């Protein structure tokens, strides 16, 4: 199977992803610098431009692996632009890692423009050390008939902030958004979504879930905006959180701003703890308490992961989620990348 | 012969209200006991206390299971020691598949008993074999535990789990409730196949119906937290025709 993996040739072994997925093509962004060029990619001074021409399909899963290394400890900002021309189609995996536990500060901006009938399936996987601080601003525009499926999986990191500004600008555009954030210790995760239905006849759905342990602090702020003329809008949002410890905190604020009258919209948020009846049932079958708790957390997380259509990637992320919830990541001081 | 289960003067409360008021019960290996009694007499409480649910407080008495002090053990330790509770209302666990659930349980039992874990193939073979005991469709293995199962399917799943864990003592709490005649027969046949001279079963039920299939050696009637009558299997039939009033008034 290994011949299916294509590496950017100039990247040194140290940065290589240990367990690449079959049928994936990997690109490395080391401290904001793209390594090597490719057909679709134009490296910028920091970050990159990705462009897919009209009607083109990128057949491989394109994996962009962004790593922070101790070579550049200062604050870093970079931007990536993804532009998919009319009726083009791509599957993209964005991974971000830190290679050591320095106090890395990263300010990233990702802009995505899907032109008419373009189709993008994007998975964002964030796995960084406890001292990292990483903010990502996603600025997304969908034209008529464009379809975006986006999954944000925040496995580990000191202070992770994802801000999404998604605009549906053409009729029949569709956006399916899901997210899973796991936090423990002193970690902080912020998710800010503004999803704007600016024209009639678009659909969007959002499912965000969090498993929060230790003294972690998380925030979810989700706004669905429906413009005055955006009739026949369908927009759904849900945010569910599982608090494992007494000291973990979540602030969740789902809200709607609707200026059209013929729409279907819903939003909801829940905050709960582990289910005592389920735990007892599992224990009577001989599953020890800690394992029963883990199974329940995994089940909760799986409802987000199961939305990922690439089976191999979904299984990988499921395994990583299990390792993460077993506390294996916090034992790694220099290897967050190698688990992936 | 060593007793399987020995309950001495067991008292238990929930939220400060005493439900069990001095239970005495001894179950030997190879025996089938039935516990009957009107609603609210404490039957399910007894089963739940024996399985180790934490919100019940044992205020007096002792329970020995195969010579060990049961009340000092956690629910999982009781399971490892060979105790099984078939739930009256089996719990749904969305997102955990039946196969992963039972694999975790079986392998934990094996680890606790210093046996190597089963390989995936060995596990599948065992699972198929035990599913056949209760005529369960193998398609159920990939579904969430009890999620969307009918009442009968849930009870079959309980007996399937019992078959997988091969307990020394199984307490079946109203396993017959919500079952139609066919499902009742399948579930009861499953239990009978698992019965052997080294294990024991306590069947908790309202009705004689189940006891036509699983024949008890001894029948107890529980009322207001105490066992008020113990006799042979004919007691069940008598309760069916005469109700409980004649016993209560005795």
CA–CA gap between residue B199 and residue B176 (Å, rounded)? 21
Query: Residues 68-87, chain B: which have Cβ within 8 Å of A?
Result: 74-76, 78-80, 84-85, 87
Within a domain: residue A9? no
Count CB-CB contacts under 10 A for residue B92.
Answer: 17
How far away is chain A from the Cα of B176, in angstroms, using its nearest Cα? Answer: 19
3-state secondary structure of B20: strand
- What's the pLDDT at B9? 97
Residue pair B207/B240 in contact (Cβ under 8 Å)? The answer is: yes
* pLDDT for the residue numbered A12: 57
Contact B87 A281 (CB under 8 A): yes
CA-based nearest residue to B12, from B56, B54, B52: B56
SS (H, E, C) A257-304: EECCCCEEEEEEEEEECCCHHHHHHHHHCCCCHHHHHHHHHHHHHHHH
Beta partners for A61?
A24, A91
User: For position A7, what pLDDT does the model report?
Assistant: 46
Note whether residue A16 is domain-resident.
no
Domain residues for the domain of B82 are 3-248
Cα(A240)–Cα(A250) distance, integer angstroms? 10
What angle (nearest 5°) sits at the alpha carbon of residue A278, between those of residues A272 and A280?
A: 120
Residue B76 has its nearest CB partner, among A278, A289, A298, at A289
Domain count, chain B: 1
* Residue with the two structure tokens 């001989």: A286
B165 touches chain A (CB under 8 A): yes
Q: Find which of A285, A305, A326 to mutate to test the B interface (most B CBs within 10 Å of its CB).
A: A285
B108 closest CB neighbour out of A280, A281, A288: A288
Signed CA dihedral, A314, A142, A95, A19: sign only: positive
Q: Determine the distance in angstroms separating the CA of B227 from the nearest CA of chain A, rounded to an integer.
A: 25
- State the DSSP code for B235: H
Residue A284 lies in domain: 23-331
Q: Do A286 and B95 touch (CB under 8 A)?
A: no
A222 CB contacts (<8 Å, ≥6 apart)? A191, A192, A193, A195, A206, A208, A237, A239, A253, A254, A255, A267
Residues B202-243 pLDDT 10s: 999 988 889 999 999 999 999 999 999 999 999 999 998 898
**Residue among A251, A299, A245, A292 nearest A273 (CA):** A245
Whether the Cβ atoms of residue A164 and residue A140 lie closer than 8 Å to each other: yes
Q: Beta strand B144-145 with B93-97: parallel, antiparallel or unpaired?
A: antiparallel
Q: What is d(CA B221, CA B34) in angstroms, rounded to the nearest whole number?
A: 8
Owner of token pair 């809200």: A255
Per-residue pLDDT tens digits for B53-78: 999 999 999 999 999 999 999 999 99
Token pair of A32, please?
């904001």
Query: Which CATH number goes with the domain that contains B198?
Result: 3.40.50.300
> Element (H or E) spanning A10, and its range?
none
Contacts of B150 (CB under 8 A, 6+ apart): none
What integer pLDDT is reported at residue A6 of this predicted model? Answer: 44
Residue B3 pLDDT level (bands cut at 50, 70, 90): confident
When CB atoms are compared, the residue of B75, B93, B165 closest to A283 is: B75
The strands making up A76-84's β-sheet, listed across from edge to edge, are A41-43, A47-52, A76-84, A105-114, A133-142, A159-168, A188-197, A217-226, A249-258
CA-angle at B150, arms to B146 and B152, nearest 5°: 100
User: For B188-198, how does the pLDDT look when each residue is reduced to its tens digit (9 = 90+)?
Assistant: 999 999 999 99
**A38, burial (CB in 10 Å: exposed 0-12, middle 13-18, buried 19+):** middle
pLDDT at res. B209: 87
Which residue in A285, A291, A302 is closest to B95 by CB distance? A302
Whether the CB of B47 is below 8 Å from some CB of chain A: the reply is no
A27: nearest Cα among A55, A57, A52, A60: A60
Per DSSP (E only), the strands in chain B are 3-14, 17-28, 32-36, 57-65, 68-69, 83-86, 93-97, 144-145, 169-173, 200-204, 218-223, 226-231
Q: Give the residue from chain B lying closest to A277, CA to CA.
A: B91
Instruction: Kindly tell me the burial class for residue A335, based on how many C-beta atoms sit within 10 Å of its own C-beta (0-12, 13-18, 19 or more).
Output: middle
User: CA–CA separation, A181 vs B116, rounded Å?
Assistant: 35
What is the number of structural domains in chain A?
1
Whole-number Å distance between alpha carbons of A216 and B64: 44
For residues A101 and A73, the answer to whether their CB atoms sit within 8 Å is no
Within-domain flag for A338: no
pLDDT lower than 70: segments of chain A: 1-20, 36-38, 330-340
- Residue A291 touches chain B, beta carbons under 8 Å: yes
Apex CA A59: angle with CA A54 and CA A64, to 5°?
Answer: 95
The answer to whether residue B122 scores a pLDDT higher than 80 is yes
Identify the CA nearest to A142 among candidates A80, A228, A63, A202: A202
Contact (CB<8Å) B53/A280: yes
Residues making up chain A, counted from first to last: 340
Q: Which of A8-12, B94-98, B147-151 has the lowest mean pLDDT?
A: A8-12
pLDDT reported for residue B163: 96
């Amino acid at each position: 199977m290994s011949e299916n993996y294509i590496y950017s040739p100039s990247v040194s072994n140290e940065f290589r992803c240990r367990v690449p997925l079959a049928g994936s093509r990997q690109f490395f962004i080391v401290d904001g610098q793209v390594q090597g060029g490719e057909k679709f990619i134009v490296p910028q001074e920091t970050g990159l431009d990705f462009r897919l021409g009209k009607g083109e399909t990128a057949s491989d899963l394109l994996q962009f692996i962004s790593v922070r290394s101790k070579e550049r400890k200062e604050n870093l900002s970079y931007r990536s632009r993804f532009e998919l021309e009319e009726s083009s189609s791509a599957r993209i995996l964005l991974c971000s890692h830190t290679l050591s536990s320095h106090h890395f500060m990263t300010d990233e901006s990702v802009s995505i423009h899907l032109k008419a009938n373009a189709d993008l399936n994007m998975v964002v996987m964030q796995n960084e050390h406890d001292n990292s601080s990483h903010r990502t601003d996603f600025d997304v525009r969908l034209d008529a008939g464009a379809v975006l499926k986006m999954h944000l999986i925040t496995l580990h990191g000191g202070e992770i902030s994802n801000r999404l500004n998604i605009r549906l600008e053409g009729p029949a555009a569709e956006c399916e958004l899901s997210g899973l954030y796991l936090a423990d210790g002193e970690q902080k995760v912020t998710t800010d979504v503004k999803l704007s239905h600016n024209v009639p006849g678009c659909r969007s759905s959002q499912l965000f879930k969090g498993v929060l342990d230790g003294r972690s602090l998380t925030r979810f702020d989700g706004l669905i905006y429906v413009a005055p003329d955006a009739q026949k809008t369908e927009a759904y949002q849900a945010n569910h959180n599982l608090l494992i410890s007494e000291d973990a905190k979540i602030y969740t604020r789902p809200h709607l701003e609707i200026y059209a009258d013929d729409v279907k919209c819903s939003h909801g948020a829940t905050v709960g703890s582990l289910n005592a009846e389920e735990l007892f049932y599992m224990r009577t079958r001989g599953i020890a308490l800690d394992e029963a708790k883990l199974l329940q957390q995994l089940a909760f997380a799986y409802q987000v992961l199961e939305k990922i259509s690439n089976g191999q990637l979904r299984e990988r992320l499921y395994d990583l989620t299990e390792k993460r919830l077993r506390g294996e990541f916090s034992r790694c001081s220099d290897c967050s990348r190698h688990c992936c | 012969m060593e007793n399987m289960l020995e309950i001495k003067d067991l008292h238990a409360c929930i939220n400060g209200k005493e439900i069990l008021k001095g239970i005495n019960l001894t179950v030997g290996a190879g025996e089938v006991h039935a516990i009957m009694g009107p609603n609210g007499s404490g039957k399910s409480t007894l089963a739940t206390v024996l399985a180790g649910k934490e919100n019940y407080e044992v205020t007096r008495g002792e329970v020995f299971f195969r010579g060990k002090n049961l009340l000092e053990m956690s629910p999982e330790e009781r399971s490892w020691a060979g105790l099984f509770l078939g739930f009256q209302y089996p719990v749904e666990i969305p997102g955990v598949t039946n196969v992963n659930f039972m694999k975790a349980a079986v392998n934990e039992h094996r680890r606790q008993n210093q046996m190597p874990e089963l390989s995936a193939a060995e596990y599948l073979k065992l699972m198929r074999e035990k599913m056949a005991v209760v005529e369960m469709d193998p398609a159920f293995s990939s579904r969430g535990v009890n999620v969307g199962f009918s009442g009968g399917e849930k009870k079959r799943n309980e007996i399937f789990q019992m078959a997988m864990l091969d307990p020394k003592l199984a307490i079946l709490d109203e396993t017959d409730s919500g079952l139609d005649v066919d499902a009742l027969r399948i579930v009861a046949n499953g239990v009978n196949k698992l019965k052997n001279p080294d294990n024991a079963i306590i069947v908790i039920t309202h009705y004689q119906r189940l006891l036509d299939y699983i024949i008890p050696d001894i029948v107890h009637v529980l009322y207001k937290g105490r066992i008020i009558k113990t006799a042979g299997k004919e007691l069940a039939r008598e309760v069916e025709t005469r109700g409980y009033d004649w016993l209560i008034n005795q």
